[in-house]
Structure 1
Amino acid sequence: MSPVLNGKWLQQNNMPVYIGGAELNVATALAKWNMPVSYCTAIPGHYLSKEILQYLGNKNIDTKPVQLSGSRIGIYFLPEGADLKSTGVIYDRSQSSFASLQPGVINWNELLEDYTWFHFSAISPAVSESAAMVCLEAVKAASAKNITVSVDLNYRAKLWQYGIKPPEIMQQLLPYCNVVMGNIWSANTLLGIDIDEHIHDKKSRQAYIEHAGITAKKIMQQYPSCNTVANTFRFDHNDGIKYYAVLDTNNNQYISTEFTSEKVMDKAGSGDCFMAGLIYATTQHYAQQHIINFAAAAAFGKLHEAGDTTSQTVQQIESSLKNVYV
């Protein structure tokens, strides 16, 4: 729900509704880019849920794995144009169907048959301890089937309210992950990876890039199954944004072009769009430099769209990169 503040949403009796959420935003982008994709969550079995499932089906997202249980759809309120990490977000996810999902309900071994990639975000284990244990079941099953597992280390301070510190949960999940996306700050908060507390004082792009490499190396050392780490950097620039990303593998580091915009429409979902770009480009066997450029361009393009999900095509993203290569 995205209200326009200063009372406008009350005066107009209007509040835009966007169907989204971290993993769903990734799925929506991949489906738009003609990749077969399925989505697993839990929602109630009422008429609103049926409309949501139909909406997702119309976007070519397979919803057969969705569990119909519980009585509430998780929602959050984010003022128009705001950032999900800002204090403006209000979460209303307690006791939602997904937060109430229990381990042992989903047969992951059966559900994951014939899949090649499993993606989840740190928001899922943040909503409840039971949801965290469901995530652990899922990544264990996926890893046992040699399915590539990716995680987005998106930290939301207003979640993680069930009495267990984030690293205690995330450190159980990371051993099963092959691809990790986040930033140097979320890696510190969610995984306990050391961070230079004075990094901002250096005011240096090169310092951030070098720190990304150090963070990535520590993640790959601590979690040997991980072979790819992507770190994104997004900084306010006047009324707009500066954006770039770094991709580290076991042997090399690749740095995206730096994108600058004087205006941003909506910050929500840009990280999810990056993740979708990373998955898409990797599965299409792009060269590593092309992978990080494509993912960064997709994320940057999302900053100019309203709502959680992107409407960009692969061709539009590639077109924005036409002057990147030298």
Structure 2
Amino acid sequence: MTVYGFGEVLLRYTPPNYKQLKDTDALRVNVGGAELNALVTLAQFGHGTEMLTVLPHHALGQLALQQMYQSRVGTSLIHQVDGRMGTYYMEESFGFRSGKVIYDREHSSFAEVGHVVINDVPIKKGDYVVLTGITLAINETIREQIVEILKGLKSQGAYIVFDINFRANLWSKAVAVPIIQSILPLVDVLFFGKKDATHLLETNTESDDIKTCAETLQRQYHIPLMASSNRDIEQSTLQGIALSEQGYLESEAYQYAVLNRIGAGDAFMAGVLHGLINQWQLKETIDFATKCSVLQHTTNEDALAVDESDVFKLASHFGELKR
């Protein structure tokens, strides 16, 4: 069994010490991307992974490859061409100051020819294919072909995993909604947020809770499994939810502290897939995935790179020291 991630690998440039971009004289570089982040975590948990992407033939592309080698993510299907690396610049939030992201990924190698890597993938029955709305946002050719691509993958026995992950800075709601609506009936595992139902797809109103939103989406698009990680900002807690044919369930609500918000949803996704692959009970799976998301908030990296045992041993109190 292999988990394939189809998407762009990005470089994130971040000023140190919570500086604003206009004030910084240095930038920290991280390698990431939603699909890659999930694969990094799954590789740490011992699963076979393969990244489906395009990288440029120069030192920045090599930097990304080196990070994947170190993380044990499969790279045998990656294409390398002339071109540029997709990047973004991030100001980290602090106190009441909101964070900010500036994307610079137009005409990147993946945006230009990313569609080539999804053809002739050696899918076996039971494999998982992960993609997100971020991937659909940046490549028009992929958007035009995605329904046929996913139908072909499903015909080979793959499970389709999709995170809506709408980014208004990358594409408009008018473009995004028809594409997302066209692929939802093909999805086996959907990751979503409440605003995806209330503001993007408009299947629900703001007065509906997350359970109602999940039930509406599942009923309309017949999605076998839906999952979401939800923050209570006032209580500083994270809670995972899932809806399947077994019904609706919630994890315990875990307190969290924020060192870094990048990749928390990707860690949650990886936790869910880890549980599904291991055929855990869904309650155990969602609880584990929520712990993954909590832990990712404590790192400076884009992806959660820990052992399974580290997740199970999540501290019950801030600053706890394991001896």
Shorter-chain TM-score range:
0.7 to 0.9
Match of 2:248 among 248, 253, 257: 253
Distance in 1, matches of 2:205 and 2:128, equals 33
Question: RMSD between aligned alpha carbons?
Answer: 2.6
8 Å CA contact 1:109, 1:141 repeated in 2: no
| TM-score normalised according to structure 2 size | 0.85
Matched ranges for 1:6-155 at <5 A: 6=19, 13-80=25-92, 88-101=100-113, 103=115, 105-106=116-117, 108-113=119-124, 116-133=127-144, 135-155=146-166
111-120 or 146-155, which moves further after superposition? Answer: 111-120
* 1:214 counterpart = 2:212: yes
CA contact (8 A) 1:81 1:267 kept: no
* Secondary structure class of the residue paired with 1:159: coil
Contact 1:302/1:310 (<8 A) preserved: yes
Q: Any idea what SS the aligned residue of 1:146 has?
A: coil
Amino acid at match of 2:263: G
SS in 2 for 1:61: coil
TM-aligned CA distance change 1:110 to 1:316, over 3 Å:
closer
Amino acid in structure 2 at the alignment position of 1:52: A
- Structure with bigger strand share is 2
Q: 1:170 aligns with which of 177, 180, 198?
A: 180
SS at match of 2:294: helix
Paired letter, 1:196: T
Question: What letter matches 2:230 in structure 1?
Answer: F
Letter in 1 for 2:187: C
5+ residue gaps, structure 1: 200-210
CA-to-aligned-CA distance 1:171-196 (integer Å, 9 cap, x gap):
12212210001112123444x24222
* Distance (whole Å) between structure 1 residues aligned to residue 221 and residue 82 of structure 2: 35
User: Quick one: distance in 2 between partners of 1:106 and 1:19?
Assistant: 20
Q: Distance in 2 between matches of 1:134 and 1:306?
A: 36
Change (3 A) 1:189 1:139: farther
Q: Distance in 2 between matches of 1:228 and 1:321?
A: 29
Structure 1 consecutive aligned stretches of length 4 or more whose deviation exceeds 3 Å: 4-11, 133-138, 187-190
Paired residues, what number? 302
- Report the residue type matching 1:212 in the other structure: I
CA distance in 1, matches of 2:93, 2:39: 22
Q: Name stretches of at least 5 consecutive residues in structure 2 with no aligned partner.
A: 1-12, 318-323
Deviation at 1:270, TM superposition (A): 0.2
Q: Is 1:231 aligned to residue 243 of structure 2? A: no
- Deviation at 1:107? 5.8
Deviations 1:98-156, CA, capped at 9 Å, x for gaps: 111264x3463444346611111111001132232354444222211121111111111
Larger mean CA deviation between 110-119 and 310-319 belongs to 110-119
Provide Cα deviations, 1:80-100, integer angstroms capped at 9, x if missing partner.
357xxx661001111111111
Picking from 187, 199, 204, the partner of 1:195 is 204
Q: TM-score scaled to structure 1, two decimals?
A: 0.84
Residue-by-residue CA offset, 1:47-70 (whole Å, 9 max, x unaligned): 321232132122111111212235
Contact 1:243 1:258 (C-alpha < 8 Å) held by counterparts: yes
Report the CA distance shift for 1:184/1:49 in structure 2 as closer, same or farther (over 3 A). Answer: same
Provide the C-alpha distance between the structure 2 equivalents of 1:22 and 1:119, rounded to a whole number of angstroms: 9
